[in-house]
Chains A and B, each alone.
Chain A
Amino acid sequence: MTAARTEDDLKTLMLLSLDGDEGAYRRLLHAARPLLVAYYGRRMSGAAQADVEDLVQDTLLSLHARRHTYDRTRPFTAWFFSIARYKLIDHHRGRGGRKAAETQLHDKIEDDFSAESLTARLDLDRLLDALPPAQREMIRQVRLEGRSVAETASSRGQSESAVKVSIHRGLKALAARIRGEA
C-alpha cells in the first residue's frame, strides 16, 4: 500500500470517507499527517517547532469536525490546506495578537497558496521521494529553499564540488523520471 500523495488519490479517499469508509479515512488521515508536518514545519521558526505536532493534531480534529464543509466537486487539497492555513493564522493570533496575524495572513502565508501551487508541491515531493535521502535534501536546500552551495556543503560537512555533483546527478535522474512518466 503506497501512501496517497496526489490530489486525485486524496480526493478519492475523501469521497469514500464521506460515505463512511473507515479504511479510506484511516489512509486519508495518515496521508494528511506528513503533509501537515511539512506545511507547518516550513512556516514555524525554530523555537516554535515544538508546536508543529499540536497544530497537526488540531488540524486533523478540525478536518474531522468540519468535513461536511468539503464540497465534493472541488479539489480536496485546496480545502485541506485552507484549514491548515486557518489553523496557522489562528495559532499566531493566539500568541502574537491580531496585528501579527493580519500581516501573516497577507504576506507570508499567501505566497505559495493556491490549489495549483499546492498540487505542484505535492507532485514535486513525490518525485523527490524517489531520490536517495542525502541527494533529495541537497536539492531541496539549494534549489527550493535558495540556500547557497557553500552553506549547504558546510552544514553537511562535504566539499562544495561534491554537493554540486550530487545535485546535478539528482536533477538528471529526476528529468529522466519525468520523461519516463510522461
Chain B
Amino acid sequence: MRKTDDIIESLVGDLKPVARHALSRRFLVAILSSLAVSLVLMLTLAGLRVDMAVALTLPVFWIKAAYNFLIAAIALFALYRIARPDGDTGPVFREIAVVVALMGVAAVFQLALSPEAVYRRLILGHSALHCPFLIFAFALPVLVAAFLWMRAAAPADLRQAGFMAGLAAGAAGAFVYSWFCTENGMPFVLIWYSLGILATGLLGLLLGPRLLRW
C-alpha cells in the first residue's frame, strides 16, 4: 500500500504540462516526414514516370492518384482515432469499401469502352508482378513512422491498430508509387495496387500485437 503512495508522489513530481495538441502534432510530423522520405526514395530510385507531361492530362492518372490518396486519408484518420485508448475506428471499413467499389465501377467502364485486345494490358499491364512489391517498399517508411508514433500513444486493440497503420502506410506508399508507375489500366490499379496496400496492412496486423504493447 505504502508503495502505491510513493508511486503517486513520484508521478506528481514528474508532472510536466502537456501541450493541447501534443498527440496530433506528433502524428502530423511522423506522417509528413515519412511521406517525404518515401517521395525522395521514389524520385531517386525510380524517378517520375517517363511520360509525365502526357500523364498529367490523363484522367486515369488522377483517378489512380485519388484512389490511393482517399484510402490513405481514410485510414490515417481512423489510425489517429484508435491511438487513444477510448477511440474507435468509426465506419472506416465501409468508407474504404465505397472507394474500392467506385474504383471497381471505373474499371468496368474502362473495360466496357475498350476493345478486347487491350484487356490484357489493362489488367496485367507490364508490371503486375513487381507493382505490389514496390508499393510495399515505398510504404515501409510510413509504416515505421506510424508504428513509432503509435508506440508513444495508447491503442487498446493492438491488431486493429497494426492493421490500420499498415493500410494507411500501404495506401500512402501506393500514392507515392503512382507518380512513377506508367500503367493506365483501372483494373490494374484495382487489383495490384489494392494487393500491395492489403499486404502492408497484413504485415501491420502481424506486427501490431508484438510491437505496440504498452
Instruction: State the A residues within 8 Å of B (CB).
Output: 17-20, 22, 25-26, 29-30, 33, 53, 56-57, 60-62, 64-72, 74, 78-79, 82-83, 85-86, 90
Contacts and interface: CB of A to CB of B under 8 A. Distances in A.
Interface of B: 1, 3-4, 7-9, 11-20, 22-23, 83-86, 153-154, 156, 213-214
A60 B11 contact: yes
B136 to A, nearest CB: 27
A17 B17 CA distance: 7
A60 B16 CA distance: 16
A65 B154 CA distance: 9
Contacts of A66: 85, 153-154, 214
A141 B203 CA distance: 48
B12 A69 contact: no
> In this complex, which of B15, B20, B83 has the most chain A Cβ atoms within 10 angstroms of its Cβ?
B15
Contacts of B83: 69
Nearest to A86: B156
B203 to A, nearest CB: 19
A79 B154 CA distance: 10
B85 A79 contact: yes
Contacts of B23: 68-69
25 contacts: A18-B17, A19-B17, A20-B16, A22-B15, A29-B8, A29-B11, A29-B12, A33-B8, A53-B3, A56-B4, A57-B3, A57-B4, A60-B7, A66-B85, A66-B214, A67-B18, A69-B23, A69-B153, A70-B84, A71-B84, A74-B86, A79-B85, A82-B85, A85-B156, A90-B213
